[in-house]
Structure 1
Amino acid sequence: MTQKAQDLSQYPSLVLGMGCFWGAEKRMGELSGVLDVQSGYANGDGAASYTHILAYEKALQSGQTQGKNHAEVVKVIFDPAQVSVTQVLMHFWENHNPTQGDRQGNDVGSNYRSAIYYQTPEQEAAAKETRRLYQQALTEAGYLRITTEIAPLTTYTPAEEYHQDYLQKNPNGYCGLGGTGVTFPREASTAKPASLQHKVEILQGAQLNQEIQLVMFSAPECGYCDAFKRDIAQHWQAEVDLAITEVSQVPTGWQLGQALFATPTLVLFKQGVEVSRYTGYQGDAQRFWQWLGFQLLTPEQQKIAFESGTERPFTGSHLDEKRAGTFVDPITGAPLFRSETKYESGSGWPSFFNPVEGALTLHPDDTHGMQRIEVRSASSGIHLGHVFNDGPPPTYKRYCINGEVLKFIAD
């Protein structure tokens, strides 16, 4: 909410059904000019509560009752001086799939129907005209008929408090909301809202890395998305390719394991099929890197990196590596040691007398009845090895590192 509730009575509202209202509330709230979005229930029979609606839908599906269930909706309050009814509806059409009937993604039932419940003749006209224009775009893209219910608003009840701003309170919360990726014809509006001026395109699967590819599904005006880009994406050095899109549609020809429900969501694809995802970034970069590490590292590497394991001496990688280059974190790609600081210590592990500045963090380690200093990667937090005071000049340090958790990049 951007204004106090008592200040909003002078502004118009539009009641929209887009499936699960958690994601709908977040998506519509991202539009410039929208002042408030409230989750609620509309245009059905009987009590308007979450438990009653679920029970009523079950009874409808089993033939035990008749009537019409309430739809999960969002009440969108907007400032006409900043955004028009048409522009609100453009955002509505693009941010869900209006061709699915009584469902949205994995959520099935008449309570998840697509709907526009208007309150004025202007809203009714805009709803029907934008439906006509978007149907043309959908037909050209190969989609079926729009099933959205367009009707006057007859009943509306705000949802329970725990449903309001749900994805802000629960960034990992589920909601299977995703659009078709079909852009609304922009010539339908002479004044485009700022948040719709960016170019919206579906990623082309053929142009991505078929072997392994990470895709970040982002959104405009998404604080957690901006934080991920600032903390991680803009410094990206990892071996796996990263693509970022603001379209909630899978790359063409590729396959998601389940619907997208929140942003940012990081999905790892192998051979065009989702194998894992990370949702709900809240500033914990090392938690993200650990997730990615479990997807990229071998079981032996994982044991060293995440369980402080140790490879047997003279068995690890890079022991005899003498080329000019840089040893980097195997997950983040961040530089750890330059080859000119590597030396033969005779210990059986790759040894270095000086790390790249800021690359490591040091931690006391009293395991196994010894007092040692553990070395971790500053970027990912993984365990690398230990540092001792018996190295050569000028530092007299010996960074004794497990070769299996190093990656070498030749100059």
Structure 2
Amino acid sequence: MAMKTVNLIAVIVTLVVAGLLAMFVLRPPAATPLLSSGEKHMSADVQSIVFGMGCFWGAEKRLSAIPGVVDVESGYANGDASKTSYDDVLELERQIKRGRSEARNHAEVIKVSFDPKKVELATILAAFWENHDPTQVDGQGNDIGTNYRSAIYTSTPEQQALAEQTRDIYQQSLTREGFGKIATEIAPLKNYTRAEEYHQDYLVKNPNGYCGLGGTGVKYAMDGSGGQAHPALDPATLNAERQLIVFEAETCPYCEKFKNDVLSKWKADVPVATTLSAQPPKGWTLEKALFATPTIVLFKNGREVSRYTGYNGEQQAFWKWLGFQLLTPAQQRIAFEQGTEVPGSGSHLDEKRPGFYVDPITGANLFRSDAKFESGTGWPSFFNPVEGALELRVDNSHGMRRVEVLSKSSGIHLGHVFDDGPPPTGKRYCINGNVLKFVPDEAVAKQ
């Protein structure tokens, strides 16, 4: 009987703790989206982009060989028809050539699905440019027609920007080698239709089948300097243990945007430097060549450990990348999976010094210490944030309607806000201490 009583008490305690977690800040990780039967081998992080390179058989074979590409599918895209077939495309092209139709035909395309943790989109774009002739108008090799046009069809503004930038970089190389202007169409994807089954993996099923795909022979290369030589950074001026380097180009509007949006307000712990050279500091190592600017590379002990390629104003996407490099797994679970720490286990509960609580990634001020109070919940609590520092979002998880608190600068999850705080606001910002960094006033004064 005594053992049963102990077990019953343990169950009751567990349920009470779980209820308290849900009441204050608990939120489960986002559910994994359901995948179709043809996508079950892909993770939720897989992204896709669509290319037209002439006949899709050869294009499919070339780009599926890139490590990190998880699937390549043949299809039709960016014509006027919402659905189509191979015969429909061929017939419409005949009508167009005879002047009997002004409809826009679909392009033969491949949808490339890739894991961005294993391969950068810039690497795939470089392979796209090298593996066909983008200067040929409405055709590729002997395959002539609008359905064989060179094209990149994107699903996000970031893909669009990077496609355009890599085009401009490759154009410089083509021009130096005597080639004409790139004719590749770059546009958002629309009206995509998967091609018939016999077109899928065609050259795997028919090893001696027709390919018809050839490139210009010009390698994609980014000198990062607009044709002028610039010296690499001096390693003596850098932090050998951990250093961010932003590789830029002289004529790069994306670089200027990154400077204005991010670098001009830099407060992160990791030091950052910029360079117009495409070469790393002497004695330091890049894992691979640069494909676009800006490319932000994190070096540890002189070796590249991660990079972020391209920037189009998505500040939180950049900070999320950096957060995965700087935060511990426990911090990442809170910041990016809306997790929570066990009450009483987080940082800063007993911190009494004057100062600011800041975002652990961006360094932006979130709360002032004189707005902190003892709530008895086991989490650091504040009655007022720094003006403009937070973003609030409705949270309907656990059958409750709550208000989630996020850092406006990085977008990370911090906790929740409730209406049971002290005067003068009556608010209680219940925050996970492990995603706060405290900067005492005396530390700022010494700088």
Scaled by the length of structure 2, the TM-score of the pair is 0.52
Report the counterpart of residue 312 of structure 1 in structure 2.
Answer: 342
Aligned partner (choices 289, 294, 297) of residue 327 of structure 2: 297
The 3-state SS of whatever aligns with 2:416 is strand
- The question of 1:401 aligning with 2:431 is answered yes
Pairing 1:263-282 to 2, within 5 Å after superposition: 263-282=293-312
Matched letter for residue 268 of structure 2: A
- The question of 1:216 aligning with 2:246 is answered yes
Report the counterpart of residue 177 of structure 1 in structure 2.
Answer: 222
Distance 1:182 1:161, change over 3 A: closer
d(CA) in 2 for partners of 1:204, 1:364:
48
1:246 deviates by 1.2
- Moved >6 Å (runs of 4+): 73-76, 179-183
Report the counterpart of residue 81 of structure 1 in structure 2.
Answer: none
Q: 2:371·2:384 contact (CA, 8 Å) conserved in 1?
A: yes
Report the counterpart of residue 387 of structure 1 in structure 2.
Answer: 417
Q: 2:225·2:250 contact (CA, 8 Å) conserved in 1?
A: no
1:227 deviates by 0.8
The 3-state SS of whatever aligns with 2:184 is helix
Report the counterpart of residue 188 of structure 1 in structure 2.
Answer: none
Report the counterpart of residue 257 of structure 2 in structure 1.
Answer: 227
- The question of 1:343 aligning with 2:388 is answered no
Distance 1:175 1:372, change over 3 A: farther
The 3-state SS of whatever aligns with 1:225 is helix
1:364 deviates by 0.5
Q: Where does the alignment leave 5 or more consecutive residues of structure 1 unmatched?
A: 1-19, 27-37, 42-47, 52-72, 77-91, 93-111, 118-155, 166-173, 185-199
Report the counterpart of residue 245 of structure 1 in structure 2.
Answer: 275
Report the counterpart of residue 400 of structure 2 in structure 1.
Answer: 370
- The question of 1:286 aligning with 2:344 is answered no
1:340 deviates by 0.8
Matched letter for residue 207 of structure 1: T
What is the count of residue pairs matched by the alignment? 255
The 3-state SS of whatever aligns with 1:161 is coil
Aligned partner (choices 318, 321, 342) of residue 351 of structure 2: 321
d(CA) in 1 for partners of 2:313, 2:400:
34
Matched letter for residue 222 of structure 2: L
The 3-state SS of whatever aligns with 1:275 is strand
d(CA) in 2 for partners of 1:398, 1:315:
19
Matched letter for residue 291 of structure 1: W
Q: Provide, for residues 343-401 of structure 1, a one-character-per-residue CA deviation record: whole Å limited to 9, x for no partner.
A: 11110000011100000011111111211110000000000000011111111111000
Matched letter for residue 270 of structure 1: K
Distance 1:39 1:252, change over 3 A: farther
Report the counterpart of residue 184 of structure 2 in structure 1.
Answer: 162
d(CA) in 2 for partners of 1:390, 1:258:
54
Distance 1:348 1:262, change over 3 A: same
The 3-state SS of whatever aligns with 1:312 is coil
Q: 1:353·1:399 contact (CA, 8 Å) conserved in 2?
A: yes
1:162 deviates by 2.3
1:49 deviates by 5.0
Scaled by the length of structure 1, the TM-score of the pair is 0.56
Report the counterpart of residue 162 of structure 2 in structure 1.
Answer: none
Matched letter for residue 222 of structure 1: C
Distance 1:366 1:40, change over 3 A: closer
Distance 1:384 1:180, change over 3 A: closer
d(CA) in 1 for partners of 2:259, 2:225:
25
* Identity between Structure 1 and Structure 2 (%): 57
Q: Provide, for residues 197-237 of structure 1, a one-character-per-residue CA deviation record: whole Å limited to 9, x for no partner.
A: xxx43101232111111110111121111111111110111
Report the counterpart of residue 97 of structure 1 in structure 2.
Answer: none
Report the counterpart of residue 44 of structure 1 in structure 2.
Answer: none
Report the counterpart of residue 67 of structure 1 in structure 2.
Answer: none
Q: 1:360·1:378 contact (CA, 8 Å) conserved in 2?
A: yes
Matched letter for residue 268 of structure 1: L
Distance 1:175 1:74, change over 3 A: closer
d(CA) in 2 for partners of 1:221, 1:359:
33
Q: Where does the alignment leave 5 or more consecutive residues of structure 2 unmatched?
A: 1-122, 144-168, 188-218, 442-447
d(CA) in 1 for partners of 2:170, 2:411:
42
d(CA) in 2 for partners of 1:265, 1:296:
18
The 3-state SS of whatever aligns with 1:392 is coil
The 3-state SS of whatever aligns with 1:274 is strand
Report the counterpart of residue 257 of structure 1 in structure 2.
Answer: 287
d(CA) in 2 for partners of 1:360, 1:50:
58
Q: 1:301·1:404 contact (CA, 8 Å) conserved in 2?
A: yes
Pairing 1:98-117 to 2, within 5 Å after superposition: none
